[in-house]
Amino acid sequence: MKALDPERFTDYIENTARTVVEMYELIEPGEMVVVGLSGGKDSILTLNLLSKFREDFNFELKAVSIDEGISGYRADGIKAARKFASDMDVELIEKSFKEEFDFTLDDIVNQYKSGCIPCGVFRRYLLNKTAFEMGADKLATGHNLDDEIQSFLMSFARADFRRFTKFGPKLDRIHPKLVPRIKPLWKIPERDVGIWAVMNGVDVHFAECPYSHSSLRAKMKNYLNNLESRRQGTKLSILQSFDKSFEFPKKRIKMGECTRCGEPSSLSICKACEMLEQIKTYFDLQK
């Protein structure tokens, strides 16, 4: 097999992300972009690329890290996030479940079939709230091509068409307090993100979350990798099919504010407040 040329490979990664930023108009001049920085390879690459693009596209760049409280895992990610933010001269704001909700993910994980359920709800909540408080115009995440089609097919399998509005490289601002998300790695496969990190000697946090194995996403990931190994290009075809249809359901979303916390929500009580109530009841019963 022919060895990959590191310079050409890095150019391919940069050009693919740059095309997504330009083609889908992810960033307007003068905006402030906040990157959700976990310290994993995807978010580190996102920060790296946006830091290279900031002069050309004329925007301000900051980052936020969320410590969910996963012992033996998250601390190394936060360490990597601090190092990369500092190397790239980007201000990093750190938040944690413990500080915000008074529990860690480890404290509540047994109440759920998969740790990813509460993790996703509370992390999204805190990321958006923090990015909004920082004055962000856009919240950049490290979602790559694999993440996107896994999410798409998971929603498809559950007939959860409302979630289709959350796909695509750029989400609309559907509420003044909901910071629109952008995904510069939208067309970059996860495997290529890993190759980029290894090739460039980037010391990212490669460890796997101890809760990831129980998720539907992990099963979908295996399934798609299997398909891709049998028929190369399957993942990209799925993304392209989705790209042609994701405009359709966007108009149906009606966003209000949670009557408890005031954060944006399509329901009268947001998912985070609903889960906080259940967790509080669970803790009260344990006393």
Residues of the shown chain interacting with ligand SF4 in the complex, contacts defined by CB under 6 A? 68, 115-116, 119-120, 209, 211-212, 215
Pick the closer one to ligand SF4 by CB: 65 or 215.
215
Q: Which residues contact 38 (CB under 8 A, 6 or more apart)?
A: 65, 66, 77, 81, 142, 205
Residues 199 and 10: beta-carbon distance below 8 Å = yes
In the complex, what is the shortest distance from the CB of residue 129 to ligand SF4, in angstroms, rounded to a whole number? 18
Distance CA 220, CA 233 (A): 17
Pick the closer one to ligand SF4 by CB: 116 or 139.
116
In the complex, what is the shortest distance from the CB of residue 278 to ligand SF4, in angstroms, rounded to a whole number? 17
Reported as half-sphere exposure (CB side, CA atoms, 13 A), residue 32 has a value of 13
**Strand pairing class (256-257; 264-265):** antiparallel
In the complex, what is the shortest distance from the CB of residue 115 to ligand SF4, in angstroms, rounded to a whole number? 4
> Nearest-5° angle of CA 268, CA 165, CA 184?
120
Pick the closer one to ligand SF4 by CB: 167 or 211.
211
In the complex, what is the shortest distance from the CB of residue 117 to ligand SF4, in angstroms, rounded to a whole number? 8
Residues 23 and 183: beta-carbon distance below 8 Å = no
Distance CA 258, CA 106 (A): 26
Which tokens sit at 136? 């962000």
In the complex, what is the shortest distance from the CB of residue 271 to ligand SF4, in angstroms, rounded to a whole number? 14
- In this structure, the dihedral spanned by the alpha carbons of residues 183, 155, 204 and 36, taken in order and rounded to 10 degrees, is 50
Pick the closer one to ligand SF4 by CB: 120 or 194.
120
In the complex, what is the shortest distance from the CB of residue 279 to ligand SF4, in angstroms, rounded to a whole number? 15
Pick the closer one to ligand SF4 by CB: 51 or 150.
150
Pick the closer one to ligand SF4 by CB: 36 or 168.
36
Pick the closer one to ligand SF4 by CB: 106 or 192.
106
Task: Return the sign of the alpha-carbon dihedral for residues 269, 275, 278, 284.
Answer: negative
Residues 184 and 20: beta-carbon distance below 8 Å = yes
In the complex, what is the shortest distance from the CB of residue 254 to ligand SF4, in angstroms, rounded to a whole number? 27
